[in-house]
Amino acid sequence: MIAKILTILFFAALWINVEAQTPKLEVTIINEEFLPISKNDFLILAQEIFQYECKRMNFRKDIHLTVEIKDLAKDIRGFILPHSTSDSIFLSKDSIKAKDHLPGIFAHELGHLIYFKLLDSFFCNGNTYWGEGFASWAAGKYYLQWQGYQNYDSALKEIVSSNRFYDIKNIYDEMIRPAKQRDVIYVEWASFIDFLIEKYGFEKISSINNSFAQVTKALSLKDSVLMEVTNFDNIDEDIKRLGLKYDDIALKVMSSDEVLLVLINRDEKTHRIEPVILLEEAYIKIYNTSFDELKKQWKLRNKIIN
């Protein structure tokens, strides 16, 4: 009898522990009349997508979310506003009119939100395509189904065969706006990120996410410093006066976890930072190889010849 009671208590404690570790999503909807499905069906869908993405990204925090459906600017399907207590996702009412578009668009924006919360910095990743690719990867099957693909293999084959292959590039804060090309680029980046996770594990992806955030922090810090510089002829003296360690080749930026060595390319006339060099350093720092080499491996795995 005692053994039976102990067994029941053990499984009860196990269930409570699992329940405590399962992240919870609370959703408030504004303008629910614009939903292409019922409110109840959307709440069920949102929970399903949330748990799916939490599992993919090992995310364990509760989210209190307001979803507002409204008119947005042309080609904007949605965007997020993260907050410490309650987050918001805005969805374009025109983009989600077709109910088969809703899961992919919502999953993509939720991927952005969780990505933001995974960063150890309030500075979002300035590598726009990486950030969009990561959100598309996080949305996984929902994003692929929305785009009409079963998996990344079939997606890439179709993209290459239709001569739409973009061939991902290591760029910073640059966006090609045409909506038709946008999703091709996002799918390619999502496939590349999926390859990195499959080969090297998600932990390294988390590290590179945080490194990219620190790159953005470095650039933002450098910009704010340059705004205070009084004389470009004496820039080194001004930076020293402002308490920032700086020389011709390196800028050290403190973060909560690490000191990131950020290489810069100094232009003597403009003192311009080359962000691509910063991003390249992040790949080498995390993967011990260059972005171009990683891309070559990704293309080889997917039998992409272009």
Helix (H), strand (E) counts: the chain: 10, 6
CB atoms within 10 A of CB 56: 17
**Segment 236-263, tens digit of pLDDT:** 555 555 555 443 323 333 332 332 333 3
Q: What's the pTM value of the predicted model, to 2 decimals?
A: 0.78
221 exposure class (CB count in 10 Å sphere: 0-12, 13-18, 19+):
middle
More confident residue, 218 or 228: 218
d(CA 115, CA 206): 9
Domains assigned to the chain: 21-118 (3.30.2010), 202-294 (no CATH)
Q: Is the dihedral of CA 295, 296, 300, 304 positive or negative?
A: positive
Q: What pLDDT is attached to residue 19?
A: 47
pLDDT given for residue 125 in this prediction: 58
Question: What's the one-letter identity of residue 259?
Answer: V
- Of the candidates 58, 45, 49, the residue with the CA atom closest to the CA atom of residue 115: 58
Q: Are 123 and 214 in contact (CB under 8 A)?
A: yes
Work out the mean pLDDT of the chain and round it to a whole number.
Answer: 78
Residue 234: per-residue pLDDT = 52
| Burial status of residue 204 (CB atoms within 10 A of its CB: 0-12, 13-18, 19 or more) | middle
147 pLDDT above the threshold of 60 = yes
